[in-house]
Amino acid sequence: MRSPLRLSPVVLFALLPLSACTETAADPPRDAAVDVPARDVGSLIVDGGAIADEDASAATSLPEGDCDPIDPGACALPWPSNLYLRRDATRRTGYALTFGAASLPSNGSGDPIDPRPLRRFDGYGLGSPIMTSFPNLDLAAMATEDHQDRALAADAAALLYEVQGNTLQRIPYFVELDGQEPTVERKILFLRPGVILKENTRYVVAFRDLRTTAGAVIAPSPAFARLRAGMTMGDPALAPRQARFDEVFTLLEGAGVPRGTLTLAWDFQTASSESLHGRLLAMRDDALARVGPSGPRLAVDNVTTFLPMRDGSGRPYDENIAMEISGTFEVPHYLRPRRLGSQPGWEMNYDANGRPVANGTRQPRFWIRIPHSALRGEPQGLVMYGHGLLGSAEEVRAGYNGHIANAHNLIFFAANLTGMYEEDLSGIFATLRDASYFTSVGERLHQGMVEWVLLARAMREQIAGLTEVASHNIRITPGELYYSGISQGGIFGGTFLALSPDVTRGHLGVPGNNYFTLLHRSRDFTGYFEGLRRSYPSTADQAIGLAYVQLLWDGTEPVSYLRHIHQEPFPGNTPHEVLLVPAKGDFEVAVFTNEIAARSDLGIALMQNYDNQRTPFGITQSPYPRRGSGVVLYDFGNAWPPPGNVPPPEVGTNPHGFPRSRDWHQRQMVTFFRTGEIIDTCGGDGCRPD
């Protein structure tokens, strides 16, 4: 499958002038960003609570200053900082996420990343990285990607806690220094939670008794030393924060961590479900109400038929597919145009109260692939297909889908994922110039998810009645409506399965979650990263810029939705189930992020014989057969990549495209669709090459 993100630097640089600037080239002036309404969109939608208007200048002013002095490594460090949690009793969590006008990095043209879109959130996202800086830090005894057990050791130097009332609960994690930075002294430290964080929850991060690689004690920053000593009276930056830090110190002392041992410690709050999901759920519900119980009308405008074999006539043939039907479906459009510098883009269409509202309609395209088995009268189920990275729905034409369709009596259908398909490349390129422009991508993804929900409803209700289907006496099995996504489709399939009221089982092929973690570890990002470096040369600025992007992504990214597939279904949904099928040693998607999901009490199990080389920390593997969600690792002989936030070495053949084409995987997937059971089709010792 084509991976549009995997562009060579030469091709990328040829494209970048359309949307990005060099450090010295003149940059078109940033368009005036639309002010975020001074209302909490999430809680307003879900709770109906009005939010008082605020003076526009208050949105970007901080009495303590734009930067957090407890970590002098970069202005917005540590991340996620409690400095930017502004008290707001009208929000579900009690906070509004409020950065200063210059808190976030500036690009080569001197434009700081616009913090105003983040005010929609009442805390940090579940995919937010934890970042700080300690030059020349010694990691020798600390928890790493392959030694997460050290995170819970009694003498662990780094500590991550969930606050539960007046007590602290330890959370597994691993740490790593930024592999993108060649200079040791400038490497940012990432602390990555070993579980997906919970919504509307307070967390405490602490580092104690740290030393350099030379054995020297790392001293606290002057600002943190004053907070630790309680000597901030009269300091306009630190005194207002003393009470909060004293509370953190008291919590830590209750957990056996004396404040005198602390090199750095702070707390942060995650956003509520209303803040993270409120806009998308409101759009979903409004759109379903607008189109009615049958969904948007399917308007066919093209039909292509295929012979089962070549007959010499020149007519098209396909051994699996008998007919392709394509057309459009009319959906409410919740966006309005904006400019991304010199490029066209989009933003959410809000009403005066900060609610996303329909701005007319649009007509995305759909494709339907009907197998020869359907023309033989064999009853057919329906499968919605999710395409790969910035590709298109026409990838539903892939040969493996045709084989699955004909062999297992399934009609596949698809639509582009608005927000992350070929048409959205200009928004991605604009983001490389100015990370502020990712709002266009993130808000387009809200529209794309709604379109997928509507298409699934329309196919279930209308496909049997389409003239092109009914005229061939094609029989559709009631209740058989599934989802299968590959790569990007496997990633965002987690969001779709949480969101759709109609599709209750799905297959996520070579998936992952948390793009902040995935991007640096993917070969697909390497070309883009060259462009990002041109606008943000500092690796600390790159990391903070990507953390900003992740916050905007969290409104649709699966790291925020996996909990709502089964454990906590959204209103109107029943518990749904997913089969996740990663490929060991994948060059494009970091497999271990699925282990984080399995460790997070989401109802997603690692299946027995998950791997023959390593046992993921803290996860009990489930025996076959299993009724419910699970992760099956497919092993084609690739080694696990070395730890670190860098792309894996391209040793051997990339297994990213392998599972989908194997009969044993296809049988496992279809059995899961139709029975809800994950069965062992691999011989009892893990899924390795046949």
pLDDT of residue 31: 38
* 3-class state of residue 173 by DSSP: strand
118 lies in some domain: yes
95 lies in some domain: yes
Burial of 272 by CB count in 10 Å (0-12 exposed, 13-18 middle, 19+ buried)? buried
Count CA atoms within 13 Å of residue 358 on its CB side: 18
The single-letter code of the amino acid at 137 is L
pLDDT of residue 13: 39
- Strands 189-193 and 626-627 turn out to be unpaired
pLDDT of residue 42: 36
pLDDT of residue 63: 54
Alpha-carbon distance of 1 to 110, in angstroms, equals 39
418 lies in some domain: no
DSSP string, 383-416: EEEE--TT--GGGGG-HHHHHHHHHHTEEEEE--
Structural domain that includes position 73:
54-271
- Strands 380-386 and 410-414 turn out to be parallel
416 lies in some domain: no
Phi, psi of 263 (to 5 degrees): -85, -35
The single-letter code of the amino acid at 220 is P
Alpha-carbon distance of 582 to 570, in angstroms, equals 26
Inter-CA distances, 456 with 464, 482, 582, 670, Å: 13, 9, 25, 18
Rounded to 10 degrees, the C-alpha dihedral 584/590/592/593 comes to -140
646 lies in some domain: no
pLDDT of residue 611: 95
Work out the angle at residue 244's Cα, subtended by the Cα atoms of residues 242 and 245, and round it to the nearest 5 degrees: 65
> In total, how many domains does the chain have?
1
134 lies in some domain: yes
The single-letter code of the amino acid at 556 is T
Average pLDDT, 10 consecutive residues per value, the chain (690 residues) = 41 38 31 34 33 38 79 97 96 97 96 96 97 96 95 98 97 98 96 98 98 97 98 96 98 98 98 98 98 98 94 87 98 97 94 95 98 97 97 97 98 98 94 97 98 98 97 96 98 98 98 98 94 96 98 97 98 97 98 98 97 94 97 96 95 95 96 98 83
Alpha-carbon distance of 373 to 36, in angstroms, equals 53
User: To which H or E segment does residue 366 belong?
Assistant: strand 365-371
677 lies in some domain: no
428 lies in some domain: no
